[in-house]
Amino acid sequence: MEFMGYRRADGTVGIRNYLAVIPSVFCANRTVERIAALLPGSVPMRHAVGCSQVGLDLELTARTLKAMGTHPNVGAVLVIGLGCERFDPHELYEAVKASGRPVELFIIQEEHGTTNTIERAVEAGKRMMDDLSKQTRVPCDISELMVATKCGGTDATSGLAANPAVGEMADILTAHGGSAILSECNELLGTEDILAKRAVSKEVADKVYGAIYEIEDVLRSGLDNSLGKNRNQLISPGNFAGGVSSIVEKALGGVHKSGTSPIVDVLDYASRPPKGEKGLFLMKYESHDGEVVTGMLGCGAQITAFTTGRGTPVGHPIAPVIKITGNAKTYKNMEENFDFDASGIISGTETLKQAGQRLFELVLEVANGKLTAAERIGGDELFCVARRHGYKRKTREELEAGRCRCCD
């Protein structure tokens, strides 16, 4: 089974062919926006980080920006730096260059200001976009395709229909040699035994437990009981209103996005699998929509299957986001924001297997170039870099000693 994609020099395959304009630090955001505005079709990737960071927090920024610059859907990159930031723009430039992609670096302080930077970057960008326009899609095996799975704005229908449909699609994809990735570990609390039983080895099972326990520790370290109770809740008001009353209910619905395939590995945030490793993956991170989608794309996913019962219009600047709902009312109310209605599973007009096959076929259409609703609207809100303010990673033994055992 094949799809038509763009083969990169580093061996990866993209389903889009973007020129990404990436600031190394938030100080360059406006300059990046002005450059991209003069290069129609390019993608500005503004963010809020790049300076005044230390430790794991800075590492996640570096890892994420390099993953975006070398993403399969990115064909060329303009790196725009300020010149005094904590994250060295040369590090980003060298990472992109090593991938074989065309890349140019412009540093505002060295270009004698914003205007000169914009002029020189636009000149380089026009050459890059001309080269990108000459590239064509080629047949690629489906084993080169990875789909990220995500839920946001969850209601009761998400766990009953939309998430199971995504899981069925993921099973079909992995059965054909492709890959899928699950994350949102804070919304998998209580399902670690279920997931660990599906691991391909004891080593991977231990990684599953470690990923869930670490997120539990991260959440615990962020609690502040001096604040009101609504500041320490994992469930949003929208989840409550949609019929999801606890994190356990949400987890038991959310885990269905992974289908039934074996878990072949657990990945760090925005870190690609070992070369040649295919199948279902778990990524260690929590459920902020933008941060977790960006991280899974950083692991190599070219598409995101995003379920929502309440409705959400968000998209990502470099990767199509397929919006799926199991709520017929929400679909009718926000039809322009959706690509797939799975409510037939609840009404009985469609079986789970039929919905999963239909969604799989849609994934292939999107891989071949079909625009999603979020792409048509221009949604790019899901590009967010993960943060770890002051958190120190713990050993497995430390996590085991400190974790909650109320459900054991």
Strand ranges of the sheet holding 321-325, from the earlier edge strand across to the other edge: 263-267, 280-283, 179-182, 146-151, 303-307, 321-325, 340-341
d(CA 185, CA 211): 7
The answer to whether the Cα torsion of 170, 271, 71, 35 is positive or negative is: positive
**Per-residue burial over 42-81, b = 16 or more CB atoms within 10 Å of its CB, e = otherwise:** bbbbbbebbeebeebbbbbbbbbbbbbbbbbbbbbbbbbb
Find where tokens 């890059």 sit: 128
Per-residue pLDDT reduced to its tens digit, 116-152: 999 999 999 999 999 999 999 999 999 999 999 999 8
Token code pair at residue 22: 């990436």
Average pLDDT over the chain reads 93
**Per-residue burial over 352-372, b = 16 or more CB atoms within 10 Å of its CB, e = otherwise:** beebbebbbebbbebbeeeeb
- Asked whether the beta carbons of 22 and 80 are under 8 A apart, the reply is yes
**Total-model pTM:** 0.93
Mean pLDDT value across residues 49-70: 96
Per-residue pLDDT reduced to its tens digit, 2-58: 999 999 999 999 999 999 999 999 999 999 999 999 999 999 999 999 999 999 999
- Asked whether the beta carbons of 243 and 155 are under 8 A apart, the reply is yes
- Asked whether the beta carbons of 264 and 204 are under 8 A apart, the reply is yes
Q: Distance of alpha carbon 326 from its chain centroid, rounded?
A: 21
Please report the pLDDT score of residue 218 as a whole number. Answer: 85
Per-residue pLDDT reduced to its tens digit, 72-112: 999 999 999 999 999 999 999 999 999 999 999 999 999 99
Please report the pLDDT score of residue 110 as a whole number. Answer: 98
Cα 98–Cα 102–Cα 105 angle in degrees, nearest 5: 85
Please report the pLDDT score of residue 392 as a whole number. Answer: 73
Q: How many CB atoms lie within 10 A of CB 222?
A: 12
List alpha helices for 27-113, DSSP H: 29-37, 55-69, 89-98
| pLDDT more than 70, % of the chain | 95
